[in-house]
Structure 1
């Protein structure tokens, strides 16, 4: 990169070149040495040399540097002469006293005052050259130790090549000769004019500098932007655009520096940003250089490749260039020889990267470019399968809007049939947004209807929302289609943060105009019937549920029946309708058409979600397997996203926590724009963090669920988040705030009226009320829950009722009655299964038995400590160990305690996790029931075993979900 980079685009760090740099430095330490550094233009040769020369191993070396010029003006021995000029005013005195150095004056007039008089001419050119070569070598020996740098040898004059061959065949002592070149532009592929053969006993290495891989491009972009990281999607798009050439990466990033959230751009945003950034100056310069070196026919072939914009066979290139096969083949040979084009797999030819293609495309005059696009349509029409999308683009650029519409719509239809909604959405959006197609109202209606239908199956919906809103505003839609598009907009808004209330409004307005499409009206009603949207009371949803139920019974359309059932049946499952679960037994295992298969997959996955929220965990796992299998091949990424999220929720419920944090975090990032998915994953991550004592992190996750904006939240998620926040406050002995948080959660639960979702909130609410001095509130809550859930299929809520009864009875000094309730709750939780609340109730049961004088109950606390530790709940494990020790019980003798050596012990794992979350020693002690002094010892062990020097380094590397052994320490 070096001096060719424009100001402000140089990387503050060298990325991806450690091995090459080490190889150069190692060779330079055994002089005399010859270092050949090869790589294409912009790959970073100069930048690597700068880093090489700055290494401390070369601190005592003089540096003489020259660069060959692309100009064809005669400049004999130019690169060496330029290098020697940098030694001006620093020539040793011995130079003045040796007649040999007089020959240098003819080529270095700036040094004449320091040189002896020139010798008599040798009489022949070879003799003169030999005297010059000897003088240069002797001068370098006197100036050593030194590094002679000669860059860009592909442009070297013949004299420079001969002189460098002479010097490199036997370099002076204490001299390192470093030359760089572009192999693809060197005459005959040899920058020195012939192969370099090092003298015996001399150090010589050849280092090839390849473009950066995608990971290194990501690190380089982050360094250039001054960000800790950039998104993988942006880095991948940037790598594809630049082929990993550092100069192009640097110039492209510099052009994007002021365009907004570059670092966090997703794939679609990255494409838009990179297209808008234009072609960097270096790409235009490289394109001009290479085109200038081509014959007219080779230039036309290269232009044809730019028009086609992707690798194609030689015959297609020739046809688009307007050449016959033989002439086109010869022209292609020259374009390949001059590195204007490259060969890719399968004997296809194109450009090394997108920027090179765009740079050449920009040089083609408009009329010739349009004619080439017409030829491209003719050349591609015969291919099978037909490249409809490419044909559409070529038709548009050839000035044929009818062809562009016909081919583009065919491409979208094929993507829909293939189950690829993302591609179909992009194609339809492009057609609707193209101002040069002159679409009629009927065309807009048809394309918009397809877009609205396919968008429901995709996950990249932010852009679709803007397109649909624009269509409703620009007046191009017919009134009938406007209602359909408004419905589609509402269906998408349901999935967006802050979009639930807007969705309800859009759907209700759309229903007034859908008399001509009762099937679509039914879909809108089914969404209005969904009980988990916002804070709308269940009583408002029930009439819609009944209306949709009637439509399901009346329709003969199997697709519509499945579509409506996927919403309505699962809505009833959420509410705890006992009869709804029996309906699942009558559902088919598969469906006939792709759309019916998508709807059946959605039905099973929705039912699994309802099972997870109401306590039918085994049902949920089974239904999820069926739905995921159907969704995987049905072309419905949105259903896949909800299935994966429900799977994470069920993993939490069933105690499958190993690796769950990493999986849920990655999935949340992947689906961050989908409210139902991202909010449920945030809930799970918060519950995991709370179980590990990371309370601040848990609060951050729960805030992201929308818990503080009930009207725009997924209701069961918000209710559970209120329960989690109240539980954390109780753990910090903040009973009053915990009771207030429980009040807020219960207000939402009562407003909504779906008591089947009460399981995550009721036990913590009961404890908060008891500890805050509000026992009457606790008793009233238990009576209310019993009344509201007695007739429901809501096993989690019923287990929570028994759990909460035990809490209230224990608080009121009735250990025997409390023990019976805890035993009942534990059995119910275990049947679900829900091992974490089962262990929590078992812990309370042990305390009740201890209060009754059952000393054997102490042993159960030790067993529970191991169970909590194996589950991944270190705070609960520590609490049980502390309680066990406080009873005076003695841990059964083991034959020695296991030694962990350099591995972290289970307790040190717990400490490391809390360190990684930024906790102080005091906070760690409180979470793990340890003294501060004991924590200090554990922290010292963690730092030593992880080989880090400070607590902040543990943040980056502490394991969070590593498989945990059963603890060996009490």
Structure 2
């Protein structure tokens, strides 16, 4: 007989980690893993641990059929707070905001305050109320499972809590990374204990332990190896498979017998077979309850299950208890029942004969209509499976509308895509829902799927000519965000503009997009032609939403090309909005202006606009705009020297937005620049290649120009002067073709230095003259400072070190003003070298201080270069006496060595990057391996990955 109370197997370390973090509030524990890997089981075991005794535990979960009911998962958890509130400290007045949402807690909550008349303000007050209740309850553990199914409101509320957790609150969240919508995974909470735990499938040894535990006796290694092969090591599938086996036969089986036994249970048929066996062992009433739960596919009350199964109340109770005892069903929430895992639900569902399934779906509809709130998405699903397609469309569209109103654009988009994929829609249905989808498409991050849906619509004869231009425009706007699709996107947008003669408002949006200069290799003169038409549309409309939409494209476009009036015009734009759409356009304006400011050198303004863009986009449900602002924030952090943790931040965002070109290109660029500053040549080259420098017509132009500069700089650092000059040629060719010299600030100094070092000083001087003509009348602070630096490079190359030193110092001051501390320090390093070349007294002593500046930024290569220069002058290195010892901790130099080791560098390469002798590097390597307790550099590289 297979045991039903098997202990948790193979998760001891994970369990200790979860419990340890949960008892050190404030803390946030994120448990991620694929379906069936054991997230819920791990949480269940953690809650049983004695270390959590005395903690007040509140639990909720997301539902597979998401309803547009904001904050549902968190409110579900708070429903149980009533048992603890009598002993909690008094609640303040703001907690009354919860009264309309949680009438169960009415006896403990103050009166609800009047609405503030602003959705954002009311939302913020509700969030504060939740935080205050948790603070009053402490110590409290808030558990939310299946975060990937939570509504957007719950995720926003949880992110609010993580930003400022009450001191005695711990959050324990589970989710499937692959199903988290719109890149919404959580970031580490400041000032809190953070744990991100990824549950992976079990290996063969742990599969053997789990199977043995379930069977109550040991199985052979051969049996375990085959079981692992059949199940992929997913604990749920292992359990479901083992539970279908005869325990004695399995424990006694040799390899051949084990193969025969397991060959009889195939994936996914084994789960269906297990469901049939389990169902056949239940009395008819319990089987009907279980089948009703499988059809509902969401936690349901006993009353709903009984009604759907056609059982009277008393028989319902008995049948449900038996189904629970036989583990056919489990209690998922207080008095709501379902399956341990969606795979179990699907297995039972598949075991129900088709006509019976359809009848159950038909009977579910009137029962669910009586629920409050009405579960529209579920009604659409049941109507569809019952064959009532007209009702399915009606409920599905209503669910999409409700999700849109609630700011849950991901659910709304998913519902509309599903509806539009169905046959049987008439032309008016297709037009109406296609327009709704096109209006939502640009604010979510499911770009590829929606673009494909819009492409199918354009070839659908049911879509009327009247709406074809709008759908084409939306598709073009999505394509422009996808790698390799920019030229196709421009074609689609231009076609849409011609098709939208009857809709000047929509045509204006297309015109504004064609005026944006930052995509592709289209000359700026062409963009200016479109921008002129944008100005005409703005001058002839009183539509505030349209004006904001056009400004969100037009103003940043003019700022990007260095229009000296653009930033002042931005300051005149009112922040007052009267609709969610206006707020989205205002958020887009702020995000695009932040991006433009970062590229041309208004770095402080870029940082403030990033913050306002994220706030605006978060409050109106625009995840794509949040992603744009976050990636610009990473770029701004690079520019302004906030590099601490930037590598991890950029990688995390890149994982979320890898398929979205504007974000992925900028993030890859920053990762490449960071790697270059650290001397990680191979890693830098890979990141720069991801930007698309060799396909500028299908890339983000300023990103490509910066990548050319980064590649050339990396080549110069390895004395590949000719290759660096050739790379600068490519960048300058694009810059001249595009004609946006406001973007030249990063490329110019590298190109001038590369030309000088490659024996092309005449070309370098001509380039500086050309750039001065082009930049003179532009608002381009970064380019202006770069030109000062270029004059220093030219002077130094010609041996005019006194003026060179002055130019470099002036450039350093100019970079500080932006601020841009890394190029400022590089300029001062060149100034010090010019002073050294003149024999100026004390010049050598500037290098140790510069080395420290570079080290504080994380610029390993420049820091090591400055130390090497100082040593090469023969200057006396200060004694280490009195300086701190590092014991078993890595010293700063050892950290540099460890990072380069983990990246796969040889001792010779490390010596070159850090300007050290091979012998010194060997000593550092030995010390690093000893302190990190690894046996080899290969083991360190594996750990680093």
Bucket of the pairwise TM-score, normalised by the shorter protein: 0.7 to 0.9
Instruction: Give SS of 2:351's match.
Output: coil
* Residues 634, 646 of structure 2: 8 Å contact kept: yes
Query: How much does 1:43 deviate?
Result: 11
* Residues 376, 394 of structure 1: 8 Å contact kept: yes
Which position in structure 2 is the counterpart of 1:163?
none
Matched, 1:218 2:200: yes
Distance 2:457 2:625 in 1: 26
Among 317, 321, 328, the alignment partner of 1:333 is: 321
Q: Deviations over 1:128-157 (max 9, x none)?
A: xxxxxxxxxxxxxxxxxxxxxxxxxxxxxx
Query: How much does 1:894 deviate?
Result: 6.1
Distance 2:267 2:302 in 1: 26
* Residues 405, 431 of structure 1: 8 Å contact kept: yes
* Residues 552, 588 of structure 2: 8 Å contact kept: yes
Distance 1:523 1:927 in 2: 50
Matched, 1:703 2:689: yes
Distance 2:382 2:495 in 1: 40
Among 238, 242, 259, the alignment partner of 1:246 is: 238
| Matching of residues 720-739 of structure 1 within 5 Å | 720-739=706-725
Matched, 1:652 2:629: no
Which position in structure 2 is the counterpart of 1:667?
653
Query: How much does 1:708 deviate?
Result: 0.8
* Residues 752, 767 of structure 2: 8 Å contact kept: yes
Distance 2:836 2:745 in 1: 27
Among 775, 779, 787, the alignment partner of 1:789 is: 775
* Residues 605, 639 of structure 1: 8 Å contact kept: yes
* Residues 201, 234 of structure 2: 8 Å contact kept: no
Which position in structure 2 is the counterpart of 1:911?
897
Q: Deviations over 1:334-370 (max 9, x none)?
A: 2222222111212111112112212222222333322
| Matching of residues 407-486 of structure 1 within 5 Å | 407-435=395-423, 438-486=424-472
Distance 1:835 1:688 in 2: 14
Instruction: Give SS of 2:331's match.
Output: strand
822 and 222 in structure 1: CA distance in 2 versus 1, 3 angstrom threshold: farther
Q: Which runs of 5+ in 1 are unaligned?
A: 3-13, 21-41, 45-210, 226-237, 253-276, 960-970
Distance 2:703 2:352 in 1: 57
Moved over 4 A (4+): 17-20, 211-217, 221-225, 247-252, 892-895
* Residues 374, 398 of structure 1: 8 Å contact kept: yes
Instruction: Give SS of 2:663's match.
Output: helix
Q: Relative to structure 2, which stretch is displaced further, 344-353 or 780-789?
A: 344-353
Among 818, 827, 846, the alignment partner of 1:841 is: 827
765 and 433 in structure 1: CA distance in 2 versus 1, 3 angstrom threshold: same
Distance 2:933 2:647 in 1: 24
Among 888, 895, 908, the alignment partner of 1:902 is: 888
Q: Relative to structure 2, which stretch is displaced further, 297-306 or 386-395?
A: 297-306
Task: Count the aligned residue pairs.
Answer: 723
Q: Relative to structure 2, which stretch is displaced further, 703-712 or 300-309?
A: 300-309
| Matching of residues 92-171 of structure 1 within 5 Å | none
Among 747, 751, 756, the alignment partner of 2:737 is: 751
What is the root-mean-square deviation in Å for CA atoms of aligned residues?
2.8
Which position in structure 2 is the counterpart of 1:190?
none
| Matching of residues 317-332 of structure 1 within 5 Å | 317-332=305-320
Distance 1:554 1:246 in 2: 67
| Matching of residues 55-66 of structure 1 within 5 Å | none
* Residues 615, 794 of structure 1: 8 Å contact kept: yes
Which position in structure 1 is the counterpart of 2:45?
none
Query: How much does 1:553 deviate?
Result: 2.1
Query: How much does 1:958 deviate?
Result: 5.1
Q: Deviations over 1:56-75 (max 9, x none)?
A: xxxxxxxxxxxxxxxxxxxx
Distance 1:727 1:512 in 2: 44
Q: Deviations over 1:749-777 (max 9, x none)?
A: 00000001111111110011001110110
249 and 773 in structure 1: CA distance in 2 versus 1, 3 angstrom threshold: farther
Q: Deviations over 1:459-488 (max 9, x none)?
A: 011111211111112322111222211111
Distance 2:905 2:390 in 1: 65
| Matching of residues 821-970 of structure 1 within 5 Å | 821-892=807-878, 895-957=881-943
609 and 854 in structure 1: CA distance in 2 versus 1, 3 angstrom threshold: same
Which position in structure 1 is the counterpart of 2:93?
none
* Residues 201, 235 of structure 2: 8 Å contact kept: no
Query: How much does 1:219 deviate?
Result: 3.7
Which position in structure 1 is the counterpart of 2:619?
633
* Residues 720, 760 of structure 1: 8 Å contact kept: yes
Matched, 1:532 2:518: yes
Instruction: Give SS of 2:694's match.
Output: coil
Matched, 1:16 2:11: yes
* Residues 242, 248 of structure 1: 8 Å contact kept: no
* Residues 521, 734 of structure 2: 8 Å contact kept: yes
Distance 1:223 1:855 in 2: 69
Matched, 1:514 2:466: no
Query: How much does 1:216 deviate?
Result: 6.9
958 and 622 in structure 1: CA distance in 2 versus 1, 3 angstrom threshold: same
* Residues 789, 811 of structure 2: 8 Å contact kept: yes
Distance 1:949 1:538 in 2: 57
* Residues 248, 280 of structure 1: 8 Å contact kept: no
Distance 1:793 1:420 in 2: 40
* Residues 679, 717 of structure 1: 8 Å contact kept: yes
Q: Relative to structure 2, which stretch is displaced further, 850-859 or 600-609?
A: 850-859
* Residues 15, 219 of structure 1: 8 Å contact kept: no
Q: Which runs of 5+ in 2 are unaligned?
A: 3-8, 16-35, 39-173, 178-196, 208-229, 245-264
Instruction: Give SS of 1:571's match.
Output: helix
* Residues 15, 216 of structure 1: 8 Å contact kept: no
| Matching of residues 580-595 of structure 1 within 5 Å | 580-595=566-581
Q: Deviations over 1:172-214 (max 9, x none)?
A: xxxxxxxxxxxxxxxxxxxxxxxxxxxxxxxxxxxxxxx9999
Q: Deviations over 1:913-962 (max 9, x none)?
A: 11122111111111111111111111111111111111122224459xxx
Instruction: Give SS of 2:459's match.
Output: helix
Distance 2:700 2:13 in 1: 49
Query: How much does 1:662 deviate?
Result: 0.7
Query: How much does 1:278 deviate?
Result: 11
| Matching of residues 383-394 of structure 1 within 5 Å | 383-394=371-382
Query: How much does 1:221 deviate?
Result: 8.6
Which structure is larger by alpha-carbon Rg, 1 or 2? Answer: 1
Distance 1:801 1:351 in 2: 67
Instruction: Give SS of 2:337's match.
Output: strand
334 and 222 in structure 1: CA distance in 2 versus 1, 3 angstrom threshold: closer
Query: How much does 1:386 deviate?
Result: 1.4
Q: Deviations over 1:685-723 (max 9, x none)?
A: 000000000011101000000111010010000000001
Distance 1:513 1:216 in 2: 50
Query: How much does 1:508 deviate?
Result: 1.0
Query: How much does 1:683 deviate?
Result: 0.3
Which position in structure 1 is the counterpart of 2:490?
504
933 and 547 in structure 1: CA distance in 2 versus 1, 3 angstrom threshold: same
Q: Deviations over 1:311-330 (max 9, x none)?
A: 11111111111222222222
Q: What is the TM-score when the length of structure 1 is the normalising length?
A: 0.72
* Residues 303, 361 of structure 1: 8 Å contact kept: yes
Which position in structure 2 is the counterpart of 1:601?
587
Matched, 1:310 2:298: yes
Query: How much does 1:293 deviate?
Result: 2.1
* Residues 395, 401 of structure 1: 8 Å contact kept: yes
Distance 1:43 1:526 in 2: 48
Query: How much does 1:223 deviate?
Result: 11
249 and 454 in structure 1: CA distance in 2 versus 1, 3 angstrom threshold: farther
Instruction: Give SS of 1:875's match.
Output: helix
Instruction: Give SS of 1:773's match.
Output: coil
* Residues 903, 944 of structure 2: 8 Å contact kept: no
